[in-house]
Amino acid sequence: MVETGKPVFFVDVHSDPVVMRIEGRASFQNSSCLRDFATEMLAQGKTRLVIDFQHCTSMDSTFLGILAGVALQLRQKTKASDPQPLILARVGQRNLELIRNLGIHRLMTVDAGDFKMSFDKCSRPLTQQEQDELTSARVALEAHENLIAADEGNRSKFQDVLSFLRNRVENGSL
């Protein structure tokens, strides 16, 4: 675990599949770097990603929506016959419950056991760029729209959040 207590995503971009290790809480405060990283990897032709959740203490809906968006992006770039483009490894019981509750487990492979892969070479930390409140609202809106794209049943769960975020983004005022 990271000594500072600050949540960090560590990556190994030289492996195939690309691997990421989450240390700490995955939330709206740090999920943009996951989206940006996945976009960067796709631009480089890397279409397989494994994320280690062993030390992920919790997740919020914005992070889960970004995760769903990454899964949808990867699916668009791969053929149905290709291996699963996104694997979540060593997912704890509480995080597994959140993933299943939102239906995003259908977009990826979720391993709740002892995944047989080394995450020791994940040494490059991703950095979260500073965002103004409007940009953060746009990211959160996109993330929650991804959750609805993943499972229409999520619309009722997040309708108030979506209305609030759309209003903020459309009015440009925060």
User: Long-range pairs for 129-132 at CB < 8 Å and ≥24 separation?
Assistant: 129/32, 129/33, 129/36, 131/32
Domain definitions of the chain by residue range: 8-131
What are the beta bridge partners of residue 8? 23
* Cα 72 to Cα 40: distance, rounded to the nearest angstrom: 15
CATH number assigned to the domain covering 8-131: 3.30.750.24
**By three-state DSSP, how is residue 22 classified?**
strand
* Cα 107 to Cα 168: distance, rounded to the nearest angstrom: 29
pLDDT per residue as tens digits for the range 70-89: 999 988 887 776 777 999 99
pLDDT per residue as tens digits for the range 14-66: 998 999 999 999 999 888 999 999 999 999 999 999 999 999 999 999 999 99
Q: What is the mean pLDDT of residues 140-169?
A: 95
